[in-house]
Structure 1
Amino acid sequence: MRCSLAKAVTGGLAMVAAAAVLPLAAPTPAAADRIVVGGTPVDVADNPWVVALSSRARFGGTRGGQFCGGVVVGRSTVLTAAHCMSAEVLGGPPSRRDDLKVVVGRNDLLAKDGKEIPVRRVAINPGHNSVTNAGDAAVLTLATPLPQRNVIPMARQGDSAYTPETRATVYGWGDTTGAGHYARTLRAAQVRVLPDSLCKQAYPGTSEGTYLAASMLCAGERPGGRDACQGDSGGPLVARGRLVGLVSWGSGCGWAGSPGVYTRISAVLRPLGLGH
């Protein structure tokens, strides 16, 4: 998912995430590569820190229960979007979702390979604001630790990976067109980190959302065509080998002038107890 203003439990790599189970309006997206709204297939074995979140009881078996993405930042620690853990998405508090699992090492959502690891604890960022979508992050503690090779480093404040025009990659299993066509296998789209000034102009505080540079980051391509989409929420945005963002929200998928908005990782490390 990603909220569109919260591209969440509805979808892909054209991404958006803010409110949660809201379908996006779907005018024709920009005409750049139309896979994962501008993405291509990738192998999870080459990106072992990318994981899917699953609850078959809540979302059914069609996509193996997948509803959001996540990223491994510690052997027992996964980051995802706070809105993915909302009652609106899960149908109640996370503690009542007994079958909530993190799916690791599985490219095809309907395959049997990889592992499905139960989530032992969920901690929502105390600074998360569900109205503005600021601080859209949550920590999932796994019941079983993963190998160190699954862990991706996180970009801290001042990291050069946040520099505008830096090439970045966003990953997910969500909507690949902006029209409800979901991927079964992992996709990735190449985007650029965009200047805060452009993002503030795109989301100045209308019904489409408000861009807050202190806790958000936006990425995409100025002409549109590459973006995250429904189903991609909580998935990673990676630049220069570091995690810089989590798919959070946006307007549409791959639309020109409406880049995807991500949770800025450096802004949530300390509130989540990861800033040591």
Structure 2
Amino acid sequence: MIRGMMAPLLQLIVVAAIAGEGVLGREAAPPPARATGRIVGGWEVYIGQFPYQLSLEYDGYHICGASAVAPRLALTAGHCCIGTNETDVSVWLTVRGGSSTLEEGGIVFPVKKLVIHPDYDDSNLDFDVCVLRIGGTFQNKSNIGIIQPTSSGTIPSGELAIVTGWGATESNGNFVPNLRSLAVKVWSTKNCTDQAANYMTSSGSMMCAGSVGRSFCVGDSGGPLVYDQRQIGIVSFLINECGGTAPAIYTRLSHRSVRDFIRQQINNDQRRMAQAATG
């Protein structure tokens, strides 16, 4: 998935914890292949400061970050959803919200359905976005809040945005137990293309953010990048080492196709809820 880093990232997935008994006595199924990312150079925060932050879990173990974007919908990276069939979704995938602590506390919601962007490309992570529909609702739940995806067609070049997650803080480290946050500088499209020409696609669905020594890495793929109370990006992939000089790559939510895809999923779910309410 991540050119130049795919193998190292996948090797760092915590598989040992999955062995043995599964949820409710079921034998645990092997987790789907995925790449995850971590916060390097950040600080510990409380979930009440970032109530939209979610943890996507497989058999109770964190695999990716996510964000609450509608009463029953969560947003994550497309590569976090690859490798899960319909049975896996209904049996093994859950979303945890309202907790600062990894794999503990808060409220756990079952994932009922996932929809990956129709133009997602697993070879280069183009259009790296997936929408999850949960059982239940995020509304009126303690320390859980909904964040609006950006409706703007532009991104704030040069401004600081916030990325959050539970990833490790050093190479080959474990996931951190408590939520962390990091301020990263949003790069201009030109600078992003100049520095990451061999990794960017021509679609424009990607954006760059980060500073030297400050980035996500293994443990936070799918997490939100937020500016001015709006989500502008989804953690996607790194070009080389964690916290290095190269930019980190995010899915750009200001891209028209990405915006339209997310909006369509939200509208579809609103119609489903309205129909259910009227019988």
TM class by shorter chain equals 0.7 to 0.9
What count of residue pairs does the alignment treat as equivalent? 238
Deviation at 1:5, TM superposition (A): 4.6
| Structure with the higher fraction of residues in helix conformation | 2
Larger radius of gyration: 2
**1:1-276 correspondence to structure 2 within 5 Å:** 5=5, 10=12, 21=34, 36-56=39-59, 64-87=60-83, 92-97=84-89, 98-111=91-104, 113-147=105-139, 150-159=145-154, 162-205=155-198, 209-212=199-202, 214-221=204-211, 224-251=212-239, 252-256=241-245, 258-267=246-255, 268-272=258-262, 273-274=264-265
Q: Percent identical across equivalent pairs?
A: 30
RMSD of the TM alignment (CA)? Answer: 2.6
TM-score, with normalisation over the residues of structure 2? 0.77
Letter in 2 for 1:263: T
How far 1:213 moved relative to its partner? 6.5
Distance 2:266 2:134 in 1: 19
Find the aligned partners of 2:230 and 2:194 in 1 and give their Cα distance. 27
| Larger relative contact order (Cα-Cα within 8 Å, sequence gap ≥ 6) | 1
Gaps of 5+ in 1: 12-19, 25-34, 57-63
CA distance in 1, matches of 2:219, 2:81: 13
Q: Deviations over 1:170-228 (max 9, x none)?
A: 011112113333211111111110112222122222xxx2354721111001xx11101
Give the secondary-structure state (helix, strand or coil) at the position aligned to 1:248: strand
Q: TM-score, normalised by structure 1?
A: 0.78
Q: Taking structure 1 as reference, are residues 124 and 21 closer, same or farther at Cα in structure 2, changes over 3 Å only?
A: closer
The secondary structure found in structure 2 opposite 1:271 is helix
In 1: Cα distance, 2:127 partner to 2:206 partner: 8
Provide closer, same or farther for how the CA distance between residues 229 and 96 of structure 1 changes in structure 2, counting only shifts above 3 A: same
CA drift at 1:240: 1.0
Per-residue CA shift, 1:139-178, capped at 9, x if unaligned?
A: 000100111661111112335xx12111101011112113
1:36/1:183 contact within 8 Å kept: no
Gaps of 5+ in 2: 14-32, 268-279
